[in-house]
A = this chain, B = another copy of it.
């Protein structure tokens, strides 16, 4: 039972699109990730995903609209909804999602991360 300082944890890694686990509760995980550039279009069959911007901003691209998420804002993508995060500049994001969630959802490709580090 130790507190987690978000800035300290974000300082521990530099890679993009590679979520790190920083907490776990009720079968859900808290992950930190740095985005830069466009990700891949995907959806999650069984998981809703929360994106909270800790530093910077990004665009959540959906099929029918684009939503700019700024620092201090969060966005929930419901299960089944196709989406693509896109960050012009690097952005630091905190994720809340079920432990089983795969970063690329239904799309398995070079960006897929199957074994996430705990930091």
Contact = CB atoms under 8 A, between A and B. Distances in A.
Interface of A: 1-7, 23-26, 28, 30, 47-50, 54, 60, 62, 67-70, 72-78, 81, 96-98
A30 B3 contact: no
Contact of A98 (B1, B26, B78): B26
Nearest to A77: B1
B7 A76 contact: no
Per DSSP, chain A at the interface is strand
A23 B50 contact: yes
Given A30-B50, A49-B25, A5 B96 contact: no
Contacts of A49: 25
Contact of A75 (B3, B73, B74, B76): B3
Given A72-B6, A73-B6, A96 B1 contact: no
Nearest to A48: B25
A26 to B, nearest CB: 5
